[in-house]
Amino acid sequence: MKLKNRVIVFCVSILAVLVVMLAALSALGIRYFSLYAAEMHVRSVAETVKVGLTESMVNGTIDKRQQFLNRLTTVPGVQRIQVIRGPAVISQYGPGIAAERASAKDAEFADQVLATGREKIEVVEMDNQLIFRAVVPYVANDLDTPNCLKCHAVTSGTVLGAVAIDIPLAEIRRYGILAAVLVSLAMFLAGLAGLAILRRMLNPLSETARAVQEVTAHAVGGDFSGRISNHSSDEVGDIARNINRLMESLDREVSTIRAKVGQLMGHQVSDGGNQLSLTTEMVESLVTVSQFKQAIEEDQTKLDIYLRIAEVLGQRYDFKRFSIYEVAASKNRMTPILVDGEVGANCRYCDPQITVDSSFCRARRTGHEVNAVEFPGLCTMFHPAEPGDTHICLPITQTGSAGCVVQMVISAEHSPLARLMAPFIAVYLREAGPVLEAKRLMEHLRENSLRDAMTGLYNRRFLEEYIGTLVSGTQRRKSAITVLMLDLDFFKQVNDTHGHEVGDKVLKTLADVLLRNVRSSDIAVRYGGEEFLLALMDTGGDAAMAVAEKIRAEVEATKVPIAGGMLQKTISIGVAEFPSDSDTFWQIVKFADVALYAAKAGGRNRVVRFTPDMWDVNAHY
């Protein structure tokens, strides 16, 4: 029930109770007033009777007293008057006429009044009507004029008789009931008038309360456009004006916050839906993104960052199928980094052509979002795993172009939700872009610091930093590492005869030969000058000797074009195996160097495997 109706019902209830109480009080008051009026009327009639009888005694007309009494009974409101002689008068003048003897109905009252000198009053029902009956004593005294004692041989205070009077109450009762009804009706009409005035006064409050309810209900739903019509200039009007100012302020501030957050997210937020909830979600997302950015800035490698992006996709936004590709701009290739959370997995949802030529990837080529939810078939490289699958690809911008691409594979039933979540994910990727670029640059710088600038092979510093990790892995696998120490024969003569430019060309050519003859898991190091080192992982001495011989033969057969002809060089190689020759890697390096020395001493252009008898402590230490 509305507030206005509750107030009116309450007031009507109060009015009804008041009317009933007033009617009851009026009836009770009128009853007492009626009895009081009847009592006064009785006393007046009794006094008239006593005066009339006294005058009749004085004037000698006492024998006509009954006619006098009969005339009094014609007075309105008087039904019966009877004079009853007391014992003193009877003893002096006799019993009188029959009408002056007390009837049976008055006998008890009359005897009490004559005996006590006190009046008696009662309300009796007779002939189906209420009668007010009173018996009033007539007491002799010598103070009045004429003096009663002059006619009666009695003392002052003697009860001479009594006057019995009957007054009907029907008329009084009727007028009393009428008065009570009129009073109640007047009260009721006054109450109705009051209710009408109250209703009119409550209308502004009721309308304002209803409007406040509607406006606040919309505000809870994020809509602050509602306003309240002002119906009065009192406190209710002040409430309406203050609510309107509050709604205007909320609408303005929430819109401003929403627009600013949308700018930060790079996403235009629509005006539909619960704007307060949407704004809150956007702010919470920005806070989470800020925490995400702080975390990835403290990560050590790019892979750590990719794993965090995968965590955002899988745990926060519940994407089960997704791929993260890294673009190698220098080689124009895309490499799958994570596929469905699996590190280094093969391309699963795209044509493998993108791994060879990244320009086939629309997101990589344009640097823009590819939303196949809104535009089905937008990218021809997408290969759905299941019927109805679609996708959204978001590029991660680095130095003005797409350095990475995040692909989210979406089923048809989840595509509307994914469409809403894509802008939020884009914020994470936008923050990740500069951090990934910084990590890439750091890795590039570190890679350069660990590589020989001329040949592109690792340098000695790399070997010093990472060999401990490599040896630990070998020991864990209970495998072997064979070290090859290689040195070009008579290389100094090249520099002296043809110059350093030709010498550099020879070294680069040798580096290419080494890389062609080893696996990606093996390590090729320019150890210093014309000396090189190969660490063949998980390779025993016999297999390593075969590789060394192959390298030696290819170097011998390689012709380096120079001004005026071709240049051919030979190489000497020393071989030592870890851990069979020694359980210390650097000792193996020394052993391989000893074997290299033996190869040179034996005539160069040969491969020599280390044997314990080659080790001469005094010669090498």
CATH class of the region 460-620: alpha beta
Q: Which of 412, 411, 406 is nearest to 429 (CA)?
A: 406
CATH fold, domain 3-174, is Beta-Lactamase (3.30.450)
Please give the C-alpha separations between residue 607 and each of 146, 213, 482, 485, 552, in angstroms, as whole numbers.
Answer: 179, 95, 13, 10, 8
Mean pLDDT of 127-154: 76
Identify the DSSP state of 34: H
Please give the C-alpha separations between residue 31 and each of 23, 24, 25, 114, 122, in angstroms, as whole numbers.
Answer: 12, 10, 10, 29, 14
Helices 3-59 and 170-220: crossing angle, nearest 10°?
170
Per-residue pLDDT at 437: 83
Do the domains spanning 3-174 and 299-443 agree at the CATH topology level? yes
Distance of alpha carbon 382 from alpha carbon 372, whole angstroms: 10
* 501 neighbors 535 (Cβ within 8 angstroms): no
Least confident of 125-139, 273-287, 341-355, 431-445: 273-287
* pTM confidence score: 0.49
pLDDT, tens only, 405-462: 999 999 988 888 888 888 888 888 888 888 888 877 777 666 667 788 888 899 888 8
Q: Which of 215, 218, 274 is nearest to 244 (CA)?
A: 215
Percent of the chain with pLDDT over 70: 90
pLDDT, tens only, 49-87: 777 777 777 777 777 777 777 777 777 778 788 788 878
Mean pLDDT of 541-552: 94
Domain boundary assignment for the chain:
3-174, 299-443, 460-620
Q: Which CATH number fits domain 299-443: 3.30.450.40, 3.20.20.140, 3.40.50.2300, 3.40.50.2000?
A: 3.30.450.40
Q: Which letter, b or e, does each residue of 525-539 get, where b requires 16 or more Cβ atoms within 10 Å of its Cβ?
A: bbbeebbbbbbbbeb
Confidence label for 618 from pLDDT (cuts 50, 70 and 90): very low
Structural tokens at position 516: 């062609």
pLDDT, tens only, 220-242: 777 777 788 776 777 777 887 88
pLDDT at 168 over 80: yes
Confidence label for 255 from pLDDT (cuts 50, 70 and 90): confident
**Rounded to the nearest 5 degrees, what angle is found at the Cα of 45, between the Cα atoms of 42 and 48?**
150
DSSP bridge partners of 486: 532, 573
Distance of alpha carbon 560 from alpha carbon 507, whole angstroms: 10
pLDDT at 621 over 50: no
Burial class (CB in 10 A: 0-12, 13-18, 19+), 49: buried
Mean pLDDT of 370-381: 90
Q: Which letter, b or e, does each residue of 137-169 get, where b requires 16 or more Cβ atoms within 10 Å of its Cβ?
A: bbbbeeeeeeebeebbebeeebbbbbbbbbbbb
> HSE on the CB side for 338, CA within 13 Å?
23
Helices 170-220 and 235-265: crossing angle, nearest 10°?
20
The residue written with tokens 């996709």 in the block is 313
> HSE on the CB side for 604, CA within 13 Å?
10
The residue written with tokens 């609408």 in the block is 251
Least confident of 152-161, 259-268, 499-508, 546-555: 259-268
